[in-house]
Copies of this chain bind each other. A is one copy, B any other.
Amino acid sequence: MSDEAEAATEGRPERWRRDAWDIEPDSTTGVIIREAFYGTRRFDDFERHCGISPSVLSARLRDLVADGILEKTRYRAPGTRGRDEYRLTDKGRALLPILIALNNWAERWIVPDGASTLSLLHRDCGSPVRTAVTCASGHDITAPSEVLAAPGPGARPASASD
């Protein structure tokens, strides 16, 4: 039996794996990611736009680079000093559906008046962007009740008493 399973059946686990929620391990990472989607790339701009202390920002950016969400590159325009830039990687850009889902939710349940902090538009047609839920077989899913949620193989196994 794996350690994981053992931990599940005995005392407290260290903490069940949190997975994707971990992209937001603190209260600043999300702000930085969103800002990156706006197109912000420079340390200074992140600092001003996000209102995050340089020390904290430095640490968060380092973490995000370590996690492969952002990429630090040296950009040098001709005749100017080089500049460091933080740009979203493919992995980082892949977070967009999450951002969209978050935004859709907030627009519906938090600020239904359209005063969302994030505007997401289809570049080609200008329409707002949203997420739709489907299954791999192609069916559209409209209600949460159509989805069966269960702990996956990476989570604590369901105990026999569940």
Contact = CB atoms under 8 A, between A and B. Distances in A.
Interface residues of A, number: 81
B151 A119 contact: yes
Interface in A132-162: 132-137, 139, 141, 144-156
Given A19-B116, A21-B24, A105-B95, A125 B139 contact: yes
Nearest to A131: B131
Given A95-B105, A125-B135, A119 B51 contact: no
A110 B31 contact: no
Contact of A153 (B115, B128, B133, B137): B115
Contact of A121 (B34, B91, B95, B147): B147
The interface residues of chain A, by DSSP majority, are classed as mixed
B21 A34 contact: yes
B27 A27 contact: no
A17 interface: yes
Contact of A128 (B24, B135, B151): B135
Nearest to A15: B51
B109 A94 contact: yes
A65 interface: no
B141 A129 contact: yes
A34 to B, nearest CB: 7
Contacts of A5: none
A82 interface: no
Given A102-B98, A122-B148, A155 B117 contact: yes
Contacts of A18: 27, 30-31, 117
